A and B are shown apart, each in its own frame.
Chain A
Amino acid sequence: MDELALVSAAKTGDLPAFNQLVLNYQSLAYNVAYRIVGEQDAAADATQDAFLKAYKALGSFRGKSFKPWLLRIVTNTCYDQLRAKKRKPTTNLDDALVNPEHSWRWLDPGERPEEYAERVELGRVLQQAIAQLPPEQRAVVVLSDIQGLTYDETAQATGVSLGTVKSRLSRARAKLRDYLQEQEELLPHRYRL
């Protein structure tokens, strides 16, 4: 069953059809949420909330592409979480570290352990760099550069114009470049700028 057929079925209250969409997009949604909120537990909560909101809001889905529509709900839920966290700041050192049980995904079965370790280290430093950005720039750079969405899809997912996407993306990239050059010693050798 293709994506739009699943969406149509889910609109009529077919929960298994929607759960099929959940399985297709949960990794993307969770990774976007993690990059934006910066904590694994908060990212899991945001992802779950976003899927629930998406199911309830399916009636308002009129587009052709489910992915940017879903990601818009995910980013908005993340913004809500960040606002809530700002109101009630809590310091949880465990959240700042990546839980080994939910560790980085092994992308390539042929990847050697040391390469994997370097990539994990890169992921950690990048997350620190991304955390320096304002949430709006964070969302754009995560969607566009990390998740590979086009400018159009990023604009849809963040609810802003194409021009705003371009300017936010360029500012975010410039800040990340400066940060990574300042913290070059933290990067694995083969990733240094």
Chain B
Amino acid sequence: MTKPRFPTRSTIGDELLSAYLDGQVTAAERQRVEQALAADAGLRERYDALQMTVNLLQEAPPLRVPRAFVLSEAQVLAAGGKVRGAPQPGFFDRLFPRLMPLAAAASAILLIVLLSIDFLTGLGEGVAAPRLVAQKTEFAVVPVREEHASREMPAGAPAAAVIELSPEVGRTVVVDEEVARTALVEELAKRESEKTSPQAETVIRENAMMPISTPGAKNTATPRPATVIAKMSLEEASPAATPPAPVAEKMTADKAEPRLESAGASGEIHVTESIAPTPVVSQATPRRGDGRAWLRLAEFVLALLFIIFLAGALVLRRRKHTVAP
């Protein structure tokens, strides 16, 4: 423990001594302090040091001002003040500095919302895409592996489906059996439901003009870009449940749905279908793609607006703080 600087028995504190020094005490307090000072050398020493400190503070030399702090019109106007005789800023001049940060914030919020929507719908599409594409387009997204069109499926291969594409495509896509079966069943159901729609009728009418596609004659048929011949090999295909021999039927206007045919003993199921490329492909993705394109455009515009508003706000703020005196 350190030795007290001013050993004293007095109960008079620094606050009363300080007030006494400034003459800010009552008559009773003054009398009490003076009696204590007369009787206590330690208290007197403390008081003297306090008085000396105040004297030093009063002697502290003032600094010269580095410059004049007079205000200029520009300074006052930039800070939103008014000056008599000076042209007052117009409505938009006053509005803009306040509007810019708000607009930047609003565009940022909207941008975040749009990006969230984009991200979430993108996730959804990511899950749904393989099935959609397997049903509708030549370039299936679901293949487990790809093989050349001429390659034969080995006998006793595990349950798998082979979808042969047109000669122009020139490849065979091997997909998981379950996926192919689901795709075919869904396609059949969808065709059934679309039978009466005008678009389906158009497809059907176009299909009716196409050459017959059969498993045996597929290479001799006139190759058409959008003709898809799907051929599914199933090891476990039951002969009892399917016709004994391959059947190829010409598709007519009233029978335009894809057909699931069994090879019976060969264990093959043939699905023969002619699909006009444009209508079918355009059913699969275009509407969603258009929406996405608009979304992207909106995101781009909002990002641009955000940058413009933010830059404007920063420039106005900077100008406000750097107006020359």
Contact = CB atoms under 8 A, between A and B. Distances in A.
A105 B70 CA distance: 20
A145 B57 contact: yes
A14 to B, nearest CB: 6
Contact of B56 (A14, A122, A166, A167): A122
B58 A167 contact: no
B15 A44 contact: no
Contact of B71 (A52, A102, A107, A181): A52
- Chain A, interface size: which category? 35 or more
A98 B56 CA distance: 19
A123 B83 CA distance: 39
A122 B64 contact: no
Interface of B is mostly: loop
Contact of A123 (B15, B54, B60): B60
Given A26-B68, A122-B56, A105 B62 contact: yes
Given A44-B66, A171-B14, A177 B60 contact: no
A173 B22 CA distance: 12
Contact of B49 (A30, A146, A166, A177): A177
Nearest to A177: B53
A51 interface: yes
Contact size class for B? 35 or more
A21 to B, nearest CB: 10
A126 B14 contact: no
Interface in A117-156: 119-120, 122-123, 126, 141, 145-146, 148, 151
B60 A146 contact: yes
A15 interface: yes
Interface in B60-103: 60-71, 73, 75-76, 79-86
Contacts of B85: 13
B325 A48 contact: yes
A170 B63 contact: no
Interface string B1-28: 0000100000001111111001010000
A13 B61 CA distance: 35
Nearest to A119: B61
A54 to B, nearest CB: 9
Interface of B: 5, 13-19, 22, 24, 49-50, 52-54, 56-71, 73, 75-76, 79-86, 325
29 contacts: A13-B82, A22-B69, A30-B63, A30-B69, A34-B63, A47-B69, A55-B76, A55-B81, A98-B63, A102-B65, A102-B66, A103-B63, A103-B64, A107-B61, A145-B54, A167-B15, A169-B18, A170-B17, A171-B14, A174-B50, A176-B53, A176-B57, A177-B49, A191-B56, A191-B59, A193-B49, A193-B52, A193-B53, A193-B56
Interface of A: 12-15, 18-19, 22-23, 26-27, 29-31, 34, 40, 44, 47-48, 51-52, 55-56, 98-99, 101-105, 107, 119-120, 122-123, 126, 141, 145-146, 148, 151, 166-167, 169-171, 173-174, 176-178, 180-181, 187, 191, 193
